[in-house]
Chains A and B, each alone.
Chain A
Amino acid sequence: MVAQAGTQPSARQLNGSTPDEPVISVSGLVKRYGDLEAVRGIDFEVARGETFGFLGPNGAGKTTTIKILCTLADATAGTARVAGHDAATNRDAVRRNIGLVFQDTTLDTYLTAEQNLRFHAELYGVPKAAVMPRMRQVMDMVGLWDRKDSLVSTYSGGMQRRLEIARGLLHAPHVLFLDEPTVGLDPQTRSSIWTYINDLKGREDITIFLTTHYMDEAENCDRIAIIDHGKIVAIDTPEALKASIGKDRVQIHTANDQAAIAELGAKFGLEAAVHEGAVTFSVAAGEQFVPRLFSEFSIPIRSVSVSRPSLDDVFMSYTGTTIRDAEGGNAGAEFMRNIHRMRSGGRR
């Protein structure tokens, strides 16, 4: 998977490289801070034009990995190539080709939106003639052109995030890094940010690398990597990951729940229990199981529902915790996590 094809040391422009060469390729990446091993040997590749999601609880190594890819940190071992350049040895080439939106705002709130973008354009050496039209284009894209002369301190959290996305795109990067792009925003604003992000794909030739805590947002990704304790524990499309769990969740309402549980065990060998007032069990290919259930079951069924596993279930299955429990990152959560681990036993 990580066969590093063609290791010519010469700096290759992305445009000059073959289209099927991965835009990001990471191999054997390790990052130690003193005794702490934040990233413990990870490998992955991101194809051109992909939206790639990096999921994991706090402290799993997400931000450290992004920092290495963005040239803000040096890897202890292993290599990371971004847009055809080595992130350790050819920093400037990588920097020219990436846009960044960090978790915390990196805007100067004492400047106007336009001044912030102009600062960026000058730092990135955007050709003078292109600055104004490009600025207008990216600000239009996030619907902030009318507010360009306002101080950023007067912007709401969602507007600031949109402005950061616009700024990250100003120099037309090949890769856009979004580190928790919607953290701390209300649900409505979150969904509007996603509208802008998804919109981008139609307008720019761009690869998106993002981290998120929100499982529903991860559905927007073409592929997902789940990182836990500095290692990638799963990497695939959201559909494939969900399918890898195998089983669907079936809930039935019956006239006699206890008898139903007994019969499910006797006839189909299924372990069922009452959850949320319904008899609940897991079974492979739920839709095909339901007709069988109706024809062979002796107890009358009032209603039935079949649900596919969610990414939450996937996360749970691979890390032994829900991402919300893991999010706290405090001792209590860590304790719960260990309990989950013990319970799920050798599942990993």
Chain B
Amino acid sequence: MATQTTQPAAVADTGAVVERIRVSVPERGLRHDLRAVSIVWRRELIRFRTDRLRAITSLVQPFLFLFILGTGLSNLAGGSLPHSANFDFKTFIYPGVLAMSVLFTAIFSAASIVWDREFGFLREILVAPVSRASIVIGKCLGGATIATFQGIIFLALAWFAHVPYNPVLILGLIGMLLLLSFTLTAFGVMMAARIKQFQAFMALTQMLVMPLFFLSGALYPLSGLPAWLTVLTRLDPLTYVVGPMRHLVFSHLTVSPYIASQLSSRLAPSITWGGWVVPLWFSLGIVALMGLAMMAVAIVEFSKTE
């Protein structure tokens, strides 16, 4: 009530705070932008940590694919697969299902932008004196981090698919999951910049997620397909990560050299464009470029004002 006092009561009590804290907000600079990237990223992590349900539910689907579909189809596919105690259909689909484990989390992490817009928090972010780029970058990195974290949980189940816990293999897979998660989040953020309704965003992403998964070659080898399907699979960004991941997994299996050669020639054929064999590094580069391009579009979109 005391309107004239300049000394807040609590300050007088403790003396811990000086009477008038002079705050001056600095001109924008790289350091400031990095702080903004970091806090947007950290918020994603805090939100993820407090939302355990989301972490669990988004693992249900890959879990079903690996253990139910994987086990069931093993019978059917058994005859055409090389015989080995350390390989079955689950091993074949494991890289694809691993990609799936980050797919949902990455794309849906962008849904928080739509959510924030509906609930006003986005405004708090958009009136801040930081570059739109730092907000978008923080968001993409945040989504990539939590999605990769999901992937790592799923990575722990590798043993059930006869995939060994080889450090080189694990690190390689984590790296690729991070790349994939980043690109998928950037895709989600780009869409979230345009789509203003939460329901619409969810419906659209739900609609896109399954085709992305099915066209990636997660469940079947990408050779000997009809031309139209071949073209579609080559347009799916997921293809360019699932291929290299499967290649990496197959090269670390404990199987005889004969079976290993069978596997890589029949079940993990290289991705080709026309007759050209796309190198592994190139295919990962495509994914990175796609992610950066979509992030750039998102930055432009968020820089627009009414």
Contacts and interface: CB of A to CB of B under 8 A. Distances in A.
Interface of A: 33, 67, 70-74, 91-93, 95-98, 100, 102, 104-111, 115, 118-120, 122-127, 130, 133-134, 136-137, 140-141, 145, 170-172, 195, 198-199, 201-203
A108 B43 contact: yes
Interface string B1-35: 11111101111000011101111111110011001
27 contacts: A33-B306, A71-B127, A96-B27, A102-B123, A105-B120, A106-B123, A118-B39, A120-B124, A125-B31, A125-B35, A126-B25, A127-B23, A127-B24, A130-B22, A130-B23, A133-B18, A134-B23, A137-B8, A140-B8, A140-B9, A141-B8, A170-B23, A171-B23, A172-B22, A202-B4, A202-B6, A203-B6
Contacts of A126: 23, 25
B18 to A, nearest CB: 7
The secondary structure that dominates the B interface is loop
Q: What are the 8 A-B residue pairs with the smallest beta carbon separation, nearest first?
A: A122-B39, A95-B129, A73-B306, A106-B120, A172-B23, A123-B128, A125-B32, A106-B124
A267 to B, nearest CB: 48
A124 B306 contact: no
A122 B18 CA distance: 21
Given A106-B121, A110-B50, A198-B3, A122 B10 contact: no
A70 B31 CA distance: 24
Contact of B36 (A73, A98, A123, A203): A123
Given A124-B128, A202-B4, A202-B6, A119 B39 contact: yes
Interface of B: 1-6, 8-11, 16-18, 20-28, 31-32, 35-36, 38-39, 43, 46-47, 50-51, 116, 119-121, 123-130, 305-306
A33 B16 CA distance: 51
A134 B20 CA distance: 9
A137 B12 CA distance: 11
B128 A110 contact: no
Nearest to B24: A172
A95 B160 CA distance: 54
Most buried by B among A73, A126, A201: A126
B306 A67 contact: yes
A109 B305 CA distance: 26
B47 A110 contact: yes
Given A108-B43, A122-B38, A137 B11 contact: yes
A33 B50 CA distance: 40
A61 to B, nearest CB: 14
Contacts of A95: 127-129
Contacts of B305: 71-74
A74 B126 CA distance: 14
A96 B6 CA distance: 24
Contacts of A199: 2-3
Given A122-B39, A133-B18, A202-B6, A96 B25 contact: yes
B120 A102 contact: yes
A51 to B, nearest CB: 13
A74 B43 contact: no
Contacts of B8: 137, 140-141, 203
Given A100-B123, A170-B23, 13 more contacts: A72-B127, A73-B306, A96-B25, A106-B121, A123-B128, A126-B25, A127-B26, A134-B21, A137-B8, A137-B17, A195-B1, A198-B3, A202-B4
Contacts of A96: 25, 27, 129
Most buried by A among B10, B51, B128: B128
Contacts of A125: 25-26, 28, 31-32, 35-36, 129-130
Contacts of A140: 8-11, 17
